């Protein structure tokens, strides 16, 4: 992809003496100069997510002199955010992130107009929110919102700068369906299918290098500045993969899928995008942009609740230099990249806060009235060895049901906490047996499963329900009456012990 023309026309009002002094380092740059700075002043940029990626992007967009910045986020600042979300400070804990970010931007550059969108994007509001902006930066941490923002940007005809992070790796690219004078590529071209729910690690467990958020977020801001001013060559048609441990960048060519139908309307129905990602029941009558998904996703949905924060983007792509695949990359859980001249390989990156897999869970579920597969209304054929005709056994219980059973002196239920030790030090439930979920997927898995009792119920707990659901499935496959605690310890705090710490 060659350089693109400037996205935004320059403002007609000359720069003030104060602005000339503030932006003097920009004014000396070829490709920006006074005209480019006036383009930045006239630009309207929407940033979705004021978290790890949105924080540095917002600060640098403001410092660069972007005239209007919109911020979309419905979360509040938590202590655990401060390790990487640098736009917020200790005094902001408990405040809405949009308000905290607005105040930080005002300190950086009082010339910037900030618009706050303290709401969760959905199919009913996203087009209205995007209206009036020249481009959008997607720093979100879940697949449902990524597909939603990508579809909305395609409908609105504006570019989308996208980033994703996990542990020591990150990805960043530019998506645009209809760039002037060039071939467009959008998020659905690169990631046509979300990974199966519950098969993604999380930053709460796997971790993320806070400083790397600054690296990827700053690149996102740089791409936005290049799009606005027309300077340089953007990442449209390329996906940049960053490895902070090796301090390397790989550029991977991405192409439009010639067989993909253009997005002309959003998925319809409440939680339609969550359903597309396997996080909610499929809405009746969901129509537009509903591709077929391998594995019967729309026939049998399972996984964590819609509040679970998904974390991994897996793609099959090729390096620009010769189309070679990434060493050691696999296609397990991957969404195939569509398009010509693309050789298979795999790229891993991720974002924040969802429970990781504990390995494949060989339990067969059938849909029961009132709930999709794998959720509260799920039933199975029962533990191995259950008496014939005993009927389906429950596979989950709510936090309140767990509390009632723990309080019953005649109930010998075993509570198995599959979180990491450090997580249990933040908040735990008295009497739980702690065995990290990774044990059940490692070389000691057989022994760990054999250690579980067959003569009493085992309630399996994690942070939000993903890891525990996997471990419970493994346990049921070997004859244990294992039940997933819905919503994990966060739901326990919400429903049973409000006021206890969360993370």
Reported as a single tens digit per residue, the pLDDT across 168-212 is 999 999 999 999 987 899 999 999 888 776 666 556 666 789 999
pLDDT confidence bin for 426, thresholds 50/70/90: confident
Q: Between these two residues, 286 and 32, which has the higher pLDDT value?
A: 32
- Whether pLDDT at 418 is above 50: yes
Total of domains in the chain: 2
The dihedral sign for the CA sequence 375, 380, 384, 385:
positive
Question: Residue 340 falls within a domain, yes or no?
Answer: no
Question: Residue 352 falls within a domain, yes or no?
Answer: no
pLDDT confidence bin for 295, thresholds 50/70/90: very low
Question: Residue 262 falls within a domain, yes or no?
Answer: yes
State how far the Cα of 439 lies from the Cα of 459, in Å rounded to an integer. 17
What amino acid positions are annotated as catalytic residues?
Answer: 203, 462
Write the CATH number for 402: 3.40.250.10
Instruction: Report pLDDT for 377.
Output: 34
Q: Between these two residues, 198 and 165, which has the higher pLDDT value?
A: 165
The per-residue DSSP string of 9-40 comes to PPPSSPPPHHHHHHTHHHHTSTTTHHHHHHHH
Domain boundary among 248, 277, 306: 277
Task: Rank 113-122, 337-346, 494-503 by mean pLDDT and report only the highest.
Answer: 113-122
- Whether pLDDT at 276 is above 90: no
List pLDDT tens digits, range 222-238: 999 999 999 999 999 99
Q: What is the mean pLDDT of residues 350-370?
A: 32
Question: Residue 297 falls within a domain, yes or no?
Answer: no
Q: Between these two residues, 31 and 269, which has the higher pLDDT value?
A: 31
**273 and 422 share a domain?**
no
- Whether pLDDT at 1 is above 90: no
* Mean residue pLDDT across the chain: 80
Q: What is the mean pLDDT of residues 367-377?
A: 30
Instruction: Report pLDDT for 310.
Output: 27
**269 and 400 share a domain?**
no
Question: Residue 179 falls within a domain, yes or no?
Answer: yes
Residue written as tokens 């979705």?
Answer: 48
Write the CATH number for 26: 3.40.50.720
What is the percent of the chain with per-residue pLDDT over 70, rounded to a whole number?
Answer: 75
Question: Residue 353 falls within a domain, yes or no?
Answer: no
For residue 257, which phi and psi values (nearest 5 degrees)?
A: -85, 115
Instruction: Report pLDDT for 299.
Output: 23
Q: How many other β-carbons are positioned within 10 Å of the β-carbon of residue 320?
A: 13
Angle, helices 54-64 vs 210-229, to 10°: value is 40
**31 and 174 share a domain?**
yes
- Whether pLDDT at 390 is above 90: no
Domain boundary among 277, 295, 324: 277
Give residue 108's domain range: 17-277
Question: Residue 164 falls within a domain, yes or no?
Answer: yes
pLDDT confidence bin for 393, thresholds 50/70/90: confident
**71 and 207 share a domain?**
yes
Instruction: Report pLDDT for 372.
Output: 28
Domain boundary among 277, 297, 330: 277
Task: Rank 150-154, 278-282, 287-291 by mean pLDDT and report only the highest.
Answer: 150-154
State how far the Cα of 262 lies from the Cα of 77, in Å rounded to an integer. 37
Q: What is the torsion angle, in degrees rounded to the nearest 10, for the CA atoms of residue 29, residue 35, residue 40 and residue 42? A: 180
How does strand 379-380 pair with strand 393-394?
antiparallel
Residue written as tokens 């931007």?
Answer: 105
List pLDDT tens digits, range 118-147: 999 999 999 999 999 999 999 998 889 999
Least confident of 94-98, 149-153, 185-189, 390-394: 390-394
Question: Residue 354 falls within a domain, yes or no?
Answer: no
What is the pTM assigned to this prediction?
A: 0.69
- Whether pLDDT at 381 is above 70: no
């Amino acid at each position: 992809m060659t350089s693109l023309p400037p996205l935004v026309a320059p403002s007609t009002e000359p720069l003030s003496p104060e602005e000339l002094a503030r932006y003097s380092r920009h004014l000396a740059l070829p490709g920006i100069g006074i005209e480019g700075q006036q383009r930045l002043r006239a630009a309207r940029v929407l940033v979705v997510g004021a978290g790890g990626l949105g924080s540095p992007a917002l600060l640098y967009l403001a410092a660069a002199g972007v005239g209007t910045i919109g911020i979309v986020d419905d979360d509040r600042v938590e202590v655990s955010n401060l390790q990487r979300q640098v736009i917020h400070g200790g005094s902001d804990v408990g405040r809405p992130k949009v308000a905290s970010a607005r105040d930080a931007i005002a300190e950086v550059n009082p010339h910037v107009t900030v618009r706050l969108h303290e709401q969760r994007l959905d199919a009913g509001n996203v087009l209205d929110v995007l209206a009036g902006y020249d481009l959008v930066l997607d720093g979100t941490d879940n697949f449902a919102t990524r597909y939603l923002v990508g579809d909305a940007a395609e409908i609105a005809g504006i570019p989308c700068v996208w980033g994703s992070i996990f542990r020591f790796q990150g990805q960043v690219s530019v998506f645009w369906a209809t760039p002037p004078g060039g071939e467009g590529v959008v998020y659905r071209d690169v990631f046509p299918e979300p990974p199966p729910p519950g098969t993604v690690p999380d930053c709460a467990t796997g971790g993320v290098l806070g400083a790397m958020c600054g690296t990827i977020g700053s690149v996102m801001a740089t791409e936005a500045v290049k799009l606005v001013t027309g300077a340089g060559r953007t990442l449209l048609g390329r996906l940049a993969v960053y490895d902070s441990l090796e301090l390397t960048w790989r550029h991977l060519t991405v192409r439009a899928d010639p067989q993909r139908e253009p997005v002309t309307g959003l998925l319809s129905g409440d939680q339609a995008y969550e359903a597309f990602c396997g996080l909610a029941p499929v809405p009746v009558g969901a129509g537009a942009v509903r591709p077929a998904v391998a594995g019967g996703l729309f026939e049998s949905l399972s996984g964590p609740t819609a509040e679970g924060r998904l974390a991994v983007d897996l793609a099959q792509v090729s390096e620009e230099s010769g189309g070679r695949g990434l060493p050691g990359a696999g296609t397990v859980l991957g969404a195939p990249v569509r398009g010509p001249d693309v050789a298979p390989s795999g790229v891993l990156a991720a974002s924040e806060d969802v429970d990781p897999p504990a390995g494949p869970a060989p339990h067969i579920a059938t849909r029961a009235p009132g709930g999709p597969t794998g959720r509260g209304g799920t039933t199975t054929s029962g533990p191995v060895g259950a008496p014939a005709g005993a009927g389906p056994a429950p596979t989950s219980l709510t936090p309140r049901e767990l509390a009632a059973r723990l309080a019953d002196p005649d109930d010998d239920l075993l509570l198995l906490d599959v979180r990491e030790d450090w997580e249990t030090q933040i908040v735990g439930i008295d009497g739980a047996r702690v065995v990290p979920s990774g044990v059940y997927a490692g070389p000691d898995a057989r022994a760990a499963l054999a250690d579980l009792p067959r003569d009493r119920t085992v309630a399996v707990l994690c942070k939000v329900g993903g890891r525990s659901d996997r471990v419970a499935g493994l346990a049921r496959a070997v004859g244990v009456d294992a039940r997933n605690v819905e919503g994990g310890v966060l739901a326990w705090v919400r429903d049973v012990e409000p006021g206890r710490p969360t993370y």
